[in-house]
């Protein structure tokens, strides 16, 4: 692919050298050598260890007696909510959602298993955990609700006594035109779909260590949102924000789980200040699966009005979202709003009326996980489209072809207001069909003659909204971020940004954009992110936003620096600035290539040889810029529609599966992705994002589940119960890149962080049905598609067949 062919003239210093190249990452060497520094690797002198007492019941009034804990060996502090003097709840910023008043430790009422009741600090973790066992907790058991249906039932037990019911947010929808379309439709198909609770589960659990020294608080935390946390610490602990420094060092994966603030991050700060020594908390895996945000857990009731060719004219229905106890910030309900906005996908469906109801239950608060409502939408619309194809008796591929956005349709506004201005929706689908058909034949040949297995092929198409507004899940902030570009006197460059990384290669992305925008070697750039003292204010790493939003800030900041440097260089060269060109790390006068000055000469003049500067140029060579993604709505417009994302990546997926008829086990043999995120800044990194997303998507489709007993006890609390995909569960994944740049986005780049995870559940469900077509199993309406689930489906289908057969023919 031609690097930079999609980048607008004048944005870069010259011909791009790095954008589009398959460069190795700048961050890798230290991580490979074991020199990464994750939170648990931050060792401070005199540090003590905090552990958390957690509720063992899902819903209870609790009284905690820590007297024995306080007396135990090595304990330096043991606190409950009553001890947290001067601490505020995390504010409830939304006026249209019911307040949950999340407090750092539960104030007498626990609403989920794992809810924090008390914090204990001791000399080391062994002693702290010993002491924790001495806590006396009196529980007054309250009835629990653990499903959407139970939470909404009349007379259901209430989580919050001052609420009239368990609805935290209701988003009604009103579109009379949708009902008119249904009234005159050729046919209607309907489905009720359930996407199970599962979640991000980064390999590094959460952790935080705080030090209060000389009037300043420093906290190292495994976070995707260090500036957001700093602002909230200031609000909750009432410490001037200038005196707080939040550092996200190397972060061992996040995927949304760490794009939330958690009580422990505040508790270590409060305790460090009170104790006058560093306090550390490192979550264990058992805690992680109960106390770090869960995700998904939606029930979607959707019907489609179709014409005689199966084409969907309108959809209507309801999204129900189980957000657990709701005690989490940013708020847990926004994924279902994203599902609402994504449910028609890349298909031309003119009308939609879908309301959203978010309910609280006695389960772990749920919130962000990669995909953020999009996988749910893709699963539902692809499932419903299969039904439409059956109802109309049309080929399911043809049906999709007839509904996918064509180039002529763009720019296209979806019924919920998303504005899709570019993409390769149909060509990507055709490419994946072609690849999928070859792959499924390969699989059929491999298993030819095996009567105990069946092979199937399934597809999924979707849009991934990227670079979104932050307002809908925080009640604050639009979607801005910042970049600063600073030359040092020796010509080296320090680039800092408010976006952060949890492994996506953001440092490499920033260095790449800076190098080509300034026209300097990549090696001359140092990137600083994840440190609120060093980086300009920003919203962190989530929402497939970093390239789009930091890219915009980079263009402004680096462009300002480059133009100032050009004026300095022109003065040094005794030429007019407009005659000076910058390329290959130097400034030259057009037409006289022998006269040149280097970036180092310019930087030295800017800081050290300042008497050489033109009289009207101030010393220094740096700039900080903030960028707000263009064209996004932060709230619904008066007509109820909103475009919450700056741009929309598209992709088409195909899954080839093998189903074992004896056990029901589903094996994914091959997975194909045709992907279009506009200009590829680094194709290798994009591939890595897709691979990882697909693996997580397959985990959600086949393995991962966070079930609860009716009493609210979590049943998956270790890696023996919560099954992450291993190297033998994830098949070879082939990727084909298309590049449809977004003319409105910096560098033409869209975003790719969440793409891989959106398609797998939809593609796998279709593939399993395809494999088992001869048995006429019931439509797959829920995930995960586990072996027992498939086996029961087969049993049920066989029972129907034999019941329908005349006696004696079995």
Partner 1 sequence: MNPITKPVAETTIDLSVNGRQVTRTVPVRRTLADFLRDDLELTGTHLGCEHGVCGACTVLIDGRPSRSCILLAVQADGCAVTTVEGITPPEGLNPMQQAFKDHHGLQCGFCTPGFLMTLTGSDPDDYPDDGAIRELLSGNLCRCTGYQKIVEAVRDAWGRDGS
Contact footprint for partner 1 (CB under 8 A): 24-25, 27-29, 31-38, 40-41, 43, 68, 71-73, 126-127, 130-131, 134, 200-205, 250-253, 255, 284-286, 502-505, 684-685, 687-688, 690-696, 718-720, 724, 726-730, 732-733, 756
In the bound state with partner 1, the residue whose beta carbon lies nearer, of 396 and 714, is 714
Strand partners, 355: 318
Burial (0-12, 13-18, 19+ Cβ within 10 Å), 401: middle
Instruction: Report the C-alpha gap between 758 and 762 in whole angstroms.
Output: 8
Are 142 and 93 in contact by the 8 Å Cβ rule? The answer is: no
DSSP annotation of 96 reads S
DSSP annotation of 238 reads -
Are 586 and 565 in contact by the 8 Å Cβ rule? The answer is: no
For the chain, give the number of residues. 810
In the bound state with partner 1, the residue whose beta carbon lies nearer, of 27 and 770, is 27
In the bound state with partner 1, the residue whose beta carbon lies nearer, of 183 and 445, is 445
Strand partners, 624: 484
Q: How far is the CB of 252 from partner 1 (least distance, A)?
A: 3
Rg (CA), the chain: 28
In the block, tokens 């007396």 appear at 71
In the bound state with partner 1, the residue whose beta carbon lies nearer, of 32 and 183, is 32
In the bound state with partner 1, the residue whose beta carbon lies nearer, of 8 and 67, is 67
Among residues 397, 602, 330, the alpha carbon closest in space to that of 493 is found at 602
DSSP 314-366: EEEEEEEEE-TT---BS-TTHHHHHHHHHTTTTB---EEEEEEEEE--SS--B
Q: How far is the CB of 673 from partner 1 (least distance, A)?
A: 11
CA distances from 692 to 190, 253, 682, 726 (A): 33, 11, 16, 12
Per-residue tokens: 750: 């869209």
Q: How far is the CB of 98 from partner 1 (least distance, A)?
A: 34
Q: How far is the CB of 168 from partner 1 (least distance, A)?
A: 29
In the bound state with partner 1, the residue whose beta carbon lies nearer, of 234 and 522, is 522
Could you give the dihedral angle defined by the CA atoms of residues 390, 395, 397 and 403, in that order, rounded to the nearest 10 degrees? -70
Q: How far is the CB of 136 from partner 1 (least distance, A)?
A: 12
In the bound state with partner 1, the residue whose beta carbon lies nearer, of 503 and 741, is 503
In the bound state with partner 1, the residue whose beta carbon lies nearer, of 194 and 658, is 658
Give the strand order in the sheet containing 493-497.
525-529, 493-497, 481-487, 622-627
Q: How far is the CB of 118 from partner 1 (least distance, A)?
A: 18
Strand partners, 420: 412
In the bound state with partner 1, the residue whose beta carbon lies nearer, of 87 and 730, is 730
Per-residue tokens: 681: 């800044």
In the bound state with partner 1, the residue whose beta carbon lies nearer, of 389 and 685, is 685
Instruction: Report the C-alpha gap between 306 and 396 in whole angstroms.
Output: 14
Instruction: Report the C-alpha gap between 143 and 359 in whole angstroms.
Output: 16
In the bound state with partner 1, the residue whose beta carbon lies nearer, of 519 and 699, is 699
Instruction: Report the C-alpha gap between 516 and 585 in whole angstroms.
Output: 10
Q: How far is the CB of 285 from partner 1 (least distance, A)?
A: 4
In the bound state with partner 1, the residue whose beta carbon lies nearer, of 732 and 788, is 732
In the bound state with partner 1, the residue whose beta carbon lies nearer, of 663 and 726, is 726
Could you give the dihedral angle defined by the CA atoms of residues 475, 477, 478 and 479, in that order, rounded to the nearest 10 degrees? -120
In the bound state with partner 1, the residue whose beta carbon lies nearer, of 362 and 504, is 504
CA distances from 173 to 153, 154, 465 (A): 22, 23, 21
Q: How far is the CB of 506 from partner 1 (least distance, A)?
A: 11
Instruction: Report the C-alpha gap between 517 and 558 in whole angstroms.
Output: 6
Q: How far is the CB of 571 from partner 1 (least distance, A)?
A: 42
Q: How far is the CB of 705 from partner 1 (least distance, A)?
A: 16
Q: How far is the CB of 404 from partner 1 (least distance, A)?
A: 26
Instruction: Report the C-alpha gap between 189 and 685 in whole angstroms.
Output: 41
Instruction: Report the C-alpha gap between 273 and 338 in whole angstroms.
Output: 40
In the bound state with partner 1, the residue whose beta carbon lies nearer, of 436 and 692, is 692
In the bound state with partner 1, the residue whose beta carbon lies nearer, of 110 and 655, is 655
Q: How far is the CB of 67 from partner 1 (least distance, A)?
A: 10
Q: How far is the CB of 656 from partner 1 (least distance, A)?
A: 16
Q: Which residues contact 442 (CB under 8 A, 6 or more apart)?
A: 656, 670
Instruction: Report the C-alpha gap between 323 and 310 in whole angstroms.
Output: 34
In the bound state with partner 1, the residue whose beta carbon lies nearer, of 687 and 742, is 687
Q: Which residues contact 550 (CB under 8 A, 6 or more apart)?
A: 481, 483, 497, 498, 499, 506, 509, 510, 513, 538, 627
In the bound state with partner 1, the residue whose beta carbon lies nearer, of 39 and 555, is 39
3-state secondary structure of 763: helix
Q: How far is the CB of 800 from partner 1 (least distance, A)?
A: 38
Q: How far is the CB of 292 from partner 1 (least distance, A)?
A: 13
In the block, tokens 């720019």 appear at 411
Strand partners, 641: none
Task: Tell me which H or E stretch contains 792.
Answer: helix 787-804
Q: Which residues contact 123 (CB under 8 A, 6 or more apart)?
A: 48, 49, 74, 76
Q: How far is the CB of 119 from partner 1 (least distance, A)?
A: 19
Q: How far is the CB of 26 from partner 1 (least distance, A)?
A: 10
DSSP annotation of 552 reads H
Task: Tell me which H or E stretch contains 209.
Answer: strand 207-213
Instruction: Report the C-alpha gap between 509 and 13 in whole angstroms.
Output: 17
DSSP annotation of 779 reads P
Q: How far is the CB of 718 from partner 1 (least distance, A)?
A: 6
């Amino acid at each position: 692919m031609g690097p930079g062919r999609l980048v607008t003239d004048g944005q870069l210093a010259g011909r791009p050298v790095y954008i589009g190249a398959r460069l190795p990452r700048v961050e890798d060497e230290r991580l490979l050598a074991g020199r990464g520094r994750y939170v648990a690797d931050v060792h401070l002198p005199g540090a003590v260890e905090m552990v958390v007492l957690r509720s063992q019941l899902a819903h209870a009034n609790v009284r905690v007696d820590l007297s024995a804990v306080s007396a135990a060996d090595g304990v330096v502090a043991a606190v409950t909510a009553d001890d947290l003097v001067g601490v505020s709840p995390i504010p409830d910023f939304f006026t249209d959602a019911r307040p949950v008043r999340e407090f750092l430790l539960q104030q007498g009422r626990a609403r989920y298993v794992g809810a924090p009741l008390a914090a204990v600090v001791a000399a080391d973790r062994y002693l702290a955990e010993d002491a924790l066992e001495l806590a006396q907790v009196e529980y007054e058991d309250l009835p629990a609700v653990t499903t959407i249906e139970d939470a909404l039932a009349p007379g259901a037990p209430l989580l919050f006594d001052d609420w009239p019911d368990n609805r935290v947010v209701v988003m009604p929808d009103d579109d009379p035109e949708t009902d008119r379309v249904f009234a005159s439709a050729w046919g209607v198909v309907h489905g009720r779909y359930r996407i199970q609770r599962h979640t991000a589960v980064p390999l590094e659990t959460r952790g935080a260590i705080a030090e209060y020294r000389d009037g300043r608080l420093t906290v190292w935390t495994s976070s995707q949102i260090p500036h957001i946390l700093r602002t909230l610490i200031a609000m909750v602990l009432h410490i001037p924000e200038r005196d707080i420094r939040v550092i996200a060092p190397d972060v061992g994966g996040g995927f949304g789980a760490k794009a939330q603030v958690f009580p422990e991050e505040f508790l270590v700060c409060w305790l460090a200040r009170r104790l006058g020594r560093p306090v550390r908390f490192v979550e264990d895996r058992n805690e992680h699966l109960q106390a770090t945000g869960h995700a998904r857990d939606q029930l979607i009731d959707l019907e489609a009005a179709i014409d005689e060719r199966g084409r969907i004219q309108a959809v209507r229905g309801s999204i129900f979202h189980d957000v657990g106890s709701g005690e989490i910030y940013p708020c847990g309900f926004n994924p279902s709003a994203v599902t609402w906005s994504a449910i028609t996908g890349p298909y031309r469906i003119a009308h939609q009326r879908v309301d959203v109801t978010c309910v609280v239950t006695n389960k772990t608060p749920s919130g962000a996980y990669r995909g953020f409502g999009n996988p749910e939408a893709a699963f539902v619309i692809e499932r419903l489209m299969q039904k439409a194809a059956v109802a109309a008796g049309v080929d399911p591929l043809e049906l999709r072809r007839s509904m996918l956005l064509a180039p002529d349709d763009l720019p296209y506004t979806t019924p919920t207001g998303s504005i899709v201005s570019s993409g390769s929706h149909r060509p990507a689908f055709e490419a994946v069909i072609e690849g999928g058909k070859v792959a499924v034949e390969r699989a059929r040949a491999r298993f030819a003659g095996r009567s105990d297995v069946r092979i199937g092929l399934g597809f999924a198409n979707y849009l991934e909204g990227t670079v979104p507004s932050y307002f809908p899940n925080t009640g604050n902030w639009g979607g801005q971020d910042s970049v600063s570009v600073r030359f040092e006197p020796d010509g080296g460059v320090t680039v800092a940004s408010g976006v952060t990384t949890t492994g996506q290669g953001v440092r490499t992305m920033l260095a790449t954009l800076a190098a080509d925008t300034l026209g300097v070697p990549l090696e001359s750039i140092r990137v600083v992110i994840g440190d609120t003292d060093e980086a300009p204010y920003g919203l962190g790493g989530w929402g497939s936003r970093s390239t789009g939003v930091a890219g915009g800030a980079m263009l402004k900041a680096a462009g300002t620096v480059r133009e100032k440097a050009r004026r300095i260089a022109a003065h040094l060269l005794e030429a007019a600035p407009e005659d000076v060109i910058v390329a290959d790390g130097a400034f030259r006068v057009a037409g006289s290539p022998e006269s040149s000055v280097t970036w180092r000469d310019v930087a030295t003049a800017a800081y050290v040889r300042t008497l050489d500067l033109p009289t009207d140029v101030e010393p220094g060579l740096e700039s900080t810029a903030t960028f707000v993604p263009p064209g996004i709505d932060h709230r619904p417009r008066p007509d109820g529609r909103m475009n919450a994302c700056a741009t929309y990546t598209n992709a088409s997926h195909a899954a080839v599966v093998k189903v074992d008829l004896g056990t029901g086990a589903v094996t994914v043999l091959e997975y194909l992705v045709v992907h279009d995120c506009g200009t590829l800044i680094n194709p290798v990194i994009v591939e890595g994002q897709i691979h990882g997303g697909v693996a997580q998507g397959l985990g959600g489709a086949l393995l991962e589940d966070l079930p609860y007993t009716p009493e609210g006890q979590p049943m998956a609390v270790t890696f023996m119960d919560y099954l992450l995909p291993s190297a033998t569960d994830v098949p070879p994944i082939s990727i084909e890149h298309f590049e449809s740049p977004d003319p409105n986005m910096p560098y033409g780049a869209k975003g790719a962080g969440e793409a891989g995870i959106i398609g797998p559940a939809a593609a796998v469900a279709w593939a399993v049905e395809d494999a088992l077509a001869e048995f006429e199993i019931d439509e797959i309406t829920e995930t995960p598609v586990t072996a027992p689930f498939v086996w029961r489906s087969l049993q049920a289908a066989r029972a129907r067949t034999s019941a329908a057969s005349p006696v004696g023919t079995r």
